[in-house]
Structure 1
Amino acid sequence: MHIHFMKLAIEQAKLSIPVPSGYCVGAVLVQETLREANTNRHGNNDSIDDVTSQEFEEDKDEGYADRFRVVVTGYSRELPGNTHAEECCLLKLAALGADTGSRDDYFEDDDDEYIGEGEVALVAGTAATGAAAGCNGGCGSGRWNNSNSTDSNQNSNRSDRKLKSRRKWIMYSTMEPCSTRLSGNRSCSDRLIASGIRQVYVGVREPDHFVKTVVGVENMVEKGIEVIHIPGLEDECLAPNRHVLDL
């Protein structure tokens, strides 16, 4: 199932118009719906990781797949202002809540407590490391974990709205959310931390072509976000970036 959503993100990355100063990244924001979030068709209380790809495919016609639905998608520079893929997803979600009059379906009030705290437990142990293509500082199959656990963009406040803790939100991104933006805008890892999203799946770590010290994963893990690498799709995630990478 995770591969299904990551491949949707890869298709988004292909829509990004290449520029010499940036990557082409795709992102998909998925929501676990309330209707089927607690009980599956067998009457079991399954988490997202308990759903196998075979079950996902077999149950599409029965509505089980609707338990996890794509809410918004995004790709690099899709919206004005040199926007990144994850940033576009958050901006679209904020606009969706405002434009439909259904803000309460998505966001907590501004003065609410930190969202999602304790909902998604960090996985014990250390991050698996590997030499996946394009990785900077280790990017193996597995989860990154930490056991100790003023933006110039005018849309910053809207993209940083915190999501309701009663829903599970998962971000899929073809590349590690950035930790530093040369434009001076707020990084995508910081935006995700502020949003309340507690689970992020990535296809590949950010190469060091533009920024030499990339710590998006580390920043998110430190703030309690579970970051998981989906192995086997590195080449597909990097392919839209041939214009800047030596592939």
Structure 2
Amino acid sequence: MSSTIPLGAYRVIDIDDGSTEVEVHMEFIELAIQQANLAQPTDTAFSVGSLLVHGRQIIATGFSRELPGNTHAAQCAIIKSKSTPLSHFVQGSVLYSTMEPCSSRLSKNVPCSSHIIGAGIKEVIIGVKEPMTFSECRGVAQLRKAGINVTHLKVLEEECLRPNVHLLT
């Protein structure tokens, strides 16, 4: 990532310009979509997939409800990263998520944006902003306020929403 991007920046990529950066982001979001497709669909929460990445190396993956306790995708990836040989790379890593990390939880669990901030993740790439189906999400705003760069890779929005089509029709 270029050092000219201001801390806490929010970028939108809405075309595939063929650049290496966009191709890498698309590759990892497509892997996050595969994770989202592993989540058991429910009528009360989105199915989301996440990856924690250092350079081009995947540290951990996660999907909604993968672990016990009504867990979300980013939360699962962060929890799982603690038991990998690459755990020392989490601080300063990039989180890829098919959907904007949550800013509040109806279940009163810790929101994903807080997990991300606490883990020291430096950048978050999302495939789609969270729809208003359950609540007004302010995850991007919370991440930016904490100095985390956020990129919205809009070119794969439709694919990122597909695991949740039952909630959006």
TM-score when normalising by structure 1: 0.57
Paired residue for 2:33? 10
In the aligned structure 1, how far is the partner of 2:25 from the partner of 2:125? 8
Paired residue for 1:206? 130
Q: Which one has the largest radius of gyration? A: 1
C-alpha contact 2:104 2:137 (8 A) present in aligned 1: yes
Paired residue for 1:73, among 61, 77, 93? 61
Q: 1:40-55 residue pairs with structure 2 within 5 A? A: none
In the aligned structure 2, how far is the partner of 1:231 from the partner of 1:209? 19
In the aligned structure 2, how far is the partner of 1:23 from the partner of 1:214? 13
Equivalent AA in structure 2 for residue 23 of structure 1 = F
Which runs of no fewer than 5 residues in structure 2 stay unpaired?
A: 1-23
User: CA offsets per residue over residues 15-60 of structure 1, 9 Å max, x none?
Assistant: 100011100000011012xxxxxxxxxxxxxxxxxxxxxxxxxxxx
| SS state at 2:29 partner | helix
Aligned residue pairs, count: 146
Equivalent AA in structure 2 for residue 229 of structure 1 = H
Q: Report percent identity of matched pairs.
A: 45
1:88 aligns with 2:76: yes
Moved over 3 A (4+): none
Equivalent AA in structure 2 for residue 3 of structure 1 = M
Cα offset for 1:243? 1.9
Measured on the aligned residues, the alpha-carbon RMSD in Å equals: 1.4
Paired residue for 1:216? 139
Equivalent AA in structure 1 for residue 97 of structure 2 = S
Q: 1:1-247 residue pairs with structure 2 within 5 A? A: 1-32=24-55, 68-96=56-84, 106=88, 163-164=90-91, 168-211=92-135, 213-246=136-169
C-alpha contact 2:59 2:84 (8 A) present in aligned 1: no
Highest RCO, 1 vs 2 (Cα 8 Å, sep ≥ 6): 2
TM-score when normalising by structure 2: 0.82
Equivalent AA in structure 1 for residue 106 of structure 2 = L
In the aligned structure 2, how far is the partner of 1:216 from the partner of 1:186? 12
| SS state at 1:242 partner | helix
Cα offset for 1:95? 2.3
Which runs of no fewer than 5 residues in structure 1 stay unpaired?
A: 33-67, 108-162
